[in-house]
Structure 1
Amino acid sequence: MKPNRKWLMPLLAATMLVQPGSALSARGQAKAQHASVGSVTIEGPVTGGTRGFPYSASIVDLAPYGYTESEYFVSGKAHAYTVAPGTTLGADGRWQVVAGEDMPYKTRILVRKPPAAKFNGTVVVEYMQEYYGTERDTNYRWNAETLLRNGFGWVGVSMHHEGIDDQKPPQMITYAGSQIPVGTTLARWDPQRYGSLSVPSTDMSYDILTQIAASLKSKMIAGGPDPFSGLKPKAVIGVGNTIAGERMAIYINAIQPRQRVFDGFFLQDLHRGARLKLSGVDTPAPVVRTDVGVPVIVLNTTTASAERGPRPEGKMLRFWAPAGSSHTTGPYMDRVGKANTRDLGLNAGGCPVDYANTLPVQYVSGAAIIAVDRWIKSGKAAPSFPQLASFEGPKEPVLEPAGYFDANGNVKGGLRTPWVDVPVARYDWRGECIGGSGRTFPFSKDRLKALYGTPDVYHKRFAEAVKAAEKRGVLLPPDMQAAIEAANKVTW
């Protein structure tokens, strides 16, 4: 398969605070704030429609994990936030905002519910990613196996007016040789199922997110069913990727200090794909305030790190930057392609899985989610790792400038994994593959012989590096074993 040489924006590819572990963490935080959080009405489970299934249903089979998936409609009144008079959205992220007038809304949530015996007490709430007028579960697609193995509840919230009920006429664009619908929206995708949904402005999303998270954790439901009936959530983690991650960064900076509903956050790839606004005011390049009072991990791949460089950490803020990683990977884009084929009847022609970057970012992001959850529940802080320097070189995957790459062609520094420390390939974040999925350049047999001599030596060294990475908190035990098994298949 010849890779497409066009690539644009990644496709289908965001006061005093109570410290976790204190007497007023988790449920106590929410109770202290619920007087100012609007309640919601829930309808469902939602069934029917012309398609007969929800948009962005789990692309991973839930049955082996004992999970169920249901969709619900959530309605209430919410407001946008505006910048407080006399203040600005400064580069330190310490923003002050005021609430506007309430307006009615109705959106949908997808709920993936574990069996009661498996539930670990934490619900992950994803700010769904909107691209080209559709909403999708980007963070879940990266981390499904980690979430399902470890008993997390998961909720995806459709937040964007542009992806729910935007009335602008849809259009088609040519992307990677395929015709891509722009402006599909939920209401157009299945008008029978989603025609009643309405979010007048994406600026309302931050208040809507607060209301939904509070309702899930503390059962603040004005009417209708409880999506987690029979379970007692004790913590809620907010997650989002790229644009949704940047919106979650806005939430952390401006809304979390006011409401304190979330117990932690995990964001991925905060690099500016599109300039965001807060009620008409431009926000700075994505930033997270360093005085955040709940655990936060931001995973910036080399794609984002090369653009923005190291970011300041705080007592409860970590930036993880895996060397050699790319915005997406070949295996991830393969998963996206299957979902697009099912939901939109198209596959945008991504690069072959092994041609694109294959460094398994999902192992590191899964470890990050577990680290945030552990931090919330035990107070054990997540580890801090070196970050990556910004890189202003060419957009093609070439080895320059000198000093940025190691002797094997992989990026120096950052969060190290066995794939760059005991490599069999060079991993680059640049190239022509759609979705920003980078490139993999496998080493020749002669290069492998020069590095390791025999495959047995490579297998041993890789296994040692994997075990060390697990001890550092970079890999989880099930992924550690999978990595070793995959490496043992490498020969020459």
Structure 2
Amino acid sequence: MIQGPVTGGKHGWPFNRPLIDLAEKGYVEAEYFLSGEAATYAPAPGAELGRDGKWRVQPKGKVPFKTRFLVYRPADPAKFNGTVVVCWNNVTAGYELFLGEGPEVLEGGYAYVCASVQRVGVHGFPENPQGLVAWDGERYGDLSIPTDDASYDIFSQVARAVGPDRDRTVDPLGGLEVRKVIGLGASQSAGRLSTYINAVHPLPPEQGGHAFNGYMLQIYFGSGTPIEASDRPVNPANANARPLPRGQNLIREDLDVPVMIVNTELEAIACQSVRQPDTDRFRTWEAAALTHVSYQAQLIRNEKYRRDFGVAPPPPSEQMNRIYLQPFYDAALHHLNRWVNGGAAPPSQPLIDFTSDGKVVRDRHGIATGGARLPQADAPVAMNSSTPVTDDFSGRLRGSSKPFDAATLEALYGDEAGYLARFRQAASAAVAAGVLLPRDVEPAVEEAAREYRRAMEMSARQPVNAAG
């Protein structure tokens, strides 16, 4: 059953909503509750959930649930492109993280649905719970997800609630004519989505399968999650000593819909053993010099945290990776949407280069070689990489950025004008390769100018070497 739009509550807004005014972008924002029974699954008799990803499961039982999903949709039906993206909200932080307000969504005319499908998102971790129920009991107090084993079918039910054949008694899409539905998950959610793709998607619709027309796994470490007893999400508070995940399974090769993996060099390191060739249903992109969490993304996350929790978190480290992932994601979504609608597949990209012992190959400036090349990698003012500054859990995700000194910048580019000319060439090459959209070039150039000046200022502040 769908209820909504949901209003009210202690705060008066949906948790983790955008910082921007969606109405100014021509979008409607509305939140809905979804309740009912969700299937749980178990391996089929004799089935092994092995490396090949061809996992056979069957319904095991049902559990009651009530959850929420947040919808962004074009206010003008004529601007809707026919595609709904359903995001599996990430719960690694102990509360939900998602970002559906990127330029490709808002300028491309998508509808975007942020789905709360895991127990931690609703109830939080036992220690210091920050889930929806704790955050706003007035608005979310009767929500309940008893087990993450139900998350897979809840995800299917959200997709069907916004899909082309949805019940329109309460219509979360306000009458929009939907053609395609794309499932998206990032980081820990990408791991759960890979299990969904391998195990649940092939099932008949009456058992939860075939709810999506394509999938995107972002910053994916190459491993699925259990189909049973799956209530073990990563908790950063307990994860400092734990190594980052390593690839363990493939995405099954017999799918009937497109799947795209969009990674940085950090996840490429994890996925070396489960890399798969591109096919007519599969693509992998790996971006050199980028990592799991960038400075720009952390700024947005911190500002949402300050608004929602009323406390300012520590500012992001100036030493963390400073290449923003969103333009790379947007280019990938643009191509995937064309693909699921019967158009050309995304262009194949070179993969990041590794040595025989699994180390990233780097050029003389420390930039990874190979991979998809954003202009910040081919016209750098800093060594941006996945190499961490600190060895705690968060540090291993944030990588590092080491600005070049003035002498290096002068040797490479002459001056700022020379640098920006070279950056524009690199940006044009990225557009031609398909990994950067034309509309993102000018914002990237403006940021590049700021980063050049920052590097020069930091170089000027460095103490002079007494020997030199």
Which category describes the TM-score, using the shorter chain as reference length? 0.7 to 0.9
- Answer yes or no: is the 8 Å Cα contact 2:290–2:323 preserved in 1: yes
- Match of 1:193? 139
Deviation at 1:188, TM superposition (A): 1.6
- Match of 1:278? 227
Which 5+ residue runs of structure 2 have no aligned equivalent? 204-208, 233-245, 457-468
The residue identity in structure 2 corresponding to 1:306 is: I
Say yes or no: does 1:235 pair with 2:184: no
3-state SS of paired residue (1:51)? coil
Say yes or no: does 1:383 pair with 2:347: yes
The residue identity in structure 1 corresponding to 2:334 is: I
The residue identity in structure 2 corresponding to 1:89 is: L
Which 5+ residue runs of structure 1 have no aligned equivalent? 1-40, 172-180, 394-399
- Match of 1:27? none
Query: What is the rounded CA distance, in whole Å, between the counterparts of 2:434 and 2:66 in structure 1?
Result: 40
Query: What is the rounded CA distance, in whole Å, between the counterparts of 2:387 and 2:9 in structure 1?
Result: 41
Say yes or no: does 1:77 pair with 2:37: yes
One of 414, 419, 424 as aligned partner of 1:453: 414
Deviation at 1:432, TM superposition (A): 3.6
- Match of 1:38? none
One of 251, 272, 280 as aligned partner of 1:288: 251
- Match of 2:163? 217
3-state SS of paired residue (1:111)? strand
The residue identity in structure 2 corresponding to 1:162 is: V
- Answer yes or no: is the 8 Å Cα contact 2:247–2:270 preserved in 1: no
Instruction: Output one character per residue of 1:389-445: Cα deviation in whole Å (capped at 9) or x when no partner.
Output: 46899xxxxxx96x8110221011111222111211110213246462222111111
Deviation at 1:471, TM superposition (A): 1.5
Instruction: Output one character per residue of 1:287-335: Cα deviation in whole Å (capped at 9) or x when no partner.
Output: 4223322122111111111233261133211111100101110010010
Deviation at 1:230, TM superposition (A): 2.5
Query: What is the rounded CA distance, in whole Å, between the counterparts of 2:402 and 2:384 in structure 1?
Result: 6
- Answer yes or no: is the 8 Å Cα contact 2:222–2:250 preserved in 1: no
3-state SS of paired residue (2:163)? helix
Give the aligned length.
427
- Match of 1:163? 121
One of 207, 211, 218 as aligned partner of 1:261: 211
The residue identity in structure 2 corresponding to 1:290 is: E
Instruction: Output one character per residue of 1:26-64: Cα deviation in whole Å (capped at 9) or x when no partner.
Output: xxxxxxxxxxxxxxx110111111222111112333133
Instruction: Pick closer, same or farther for the CA change 1:257–1:304 going to 2, 3 Å.
Output: same
- Answer yes or no: is the 8 Å Cα contact 1:246–1:286 preserved in 2: no
Deviates more, 1:377-386 or 1:427-436: 427-436
3-state SS of paired residue (1:254)? helix
Deviation at 1:488, TM superposition (A): 4.8
Say yes or no: does 1:110 pair with 2:110: no
Instruction: Pick closer, same or farther for the CA change 1:132–1:351 going to 2, 3 Å.
Output: closer
The residue identity in structure 1 corresponding to 2:221 is: H
3-state SS of paired residue (2:407)? helix
Instruction: Pick closer, same or farther for the CA change 1:125–1:468 going to 2, 3 Å.
Output: same
One of 63, 74, 86 as aligned partner of 1:125: 86
Deviation at 1:257, TM superposition (A): 1.5
- Match of 1:319? 284
The residue identity in structure 2 corresponding to 1:365 is: Y
Query: What is the rounded CA distance, in whole Å, between the counterparts of 1:389 and 1:292 in structure 2?
Result: 28
Instruction: Pick closer, same or farther for the CA change 1:432–1:423 going to 2, 3 Å.
Output: closer
Query: What is the rounded CA distance, in whole Å, between the counterparts of 1:43 and 1:144 in structure 2?
Result: 27
The residue identity in structure 2 corresponding to 1:74 is: L
- Answer yes or no: is the 8 Å Cα contact 2:195–2:226 preserved in 1: no
Say yes or no: does 1:135 pair with 2:96: yes
Query: What is the rounded CA distance, in whole Å, between the counterparts of 1:70 and 1:58 in structure 2?
Result: 12
Query: What is the rounded CA distance, in whole Å, between the counterparts of 1:486 and 1:304 in structure 2?
Result: 25
Instruction: Pick closer, same or farther for the CA change 1:279–1:389 going to 2, 3 Å.
Output: farther
Report the identity percentage: 35
One of 83, 101, 108 as aligned partner of 1:150: 108
Query: What is the rounded CA distance, in whole Å, between the counterparts of 1:418 and 1:66 in structure 2?
Result: 31
What's the TM-score, normalizing by structure 2?
Answer: 0.85
Deviation at 1:224, TM superposition (A): 4.5
Instruction: Output one character per residue of 1:49-107: Cα deviation in whole Å (capped at 9) or x when no partner.
Output: 12221111123331331112111101122211111110111101111000122222211
Query: What is the rounded CA distance, in whole Å, between the counterparts of 1:253 and 1:426 in structure 2?
Result: 37
- Match of 1:5? none
Higher relative contact order (CA 8 A, sep 6+): 1
Query: What is the rounded CA distance, in whole Å, between the counterparts of 2:213 and 2:69 in structure 1?
Result: 20
1:411-422 correspondence to structure 2 within 5 Å: 411-422=368-379
Instruction: Pick closer, same or farther for the CA change 1:267–1:350 going to 2, 3 Å.
Output: farther
The residue identity in structure 2 corresponding to 1:102 is: K
- Answer yes or no: is the 8 Å Cα contact 2:41–2:58 preserved in 1: yes
- Match of 1:42? 2
Deviation at 1:125, TM superposition (A): 0.3
Instruction: Pick closer, same or farther for the CA change 1:162–1:286 going to 2, 3 Å.
Output: farther
- Match of 1:251? 196
3-state SS of paired residue (2:289)? coil
Say yes or no: does 1:486 pair with 2:421: no
Query: What is the rounded CA distance, in whole Å, between the counterparts of 2:265 and 2:370 in structure 1?
Result: 11
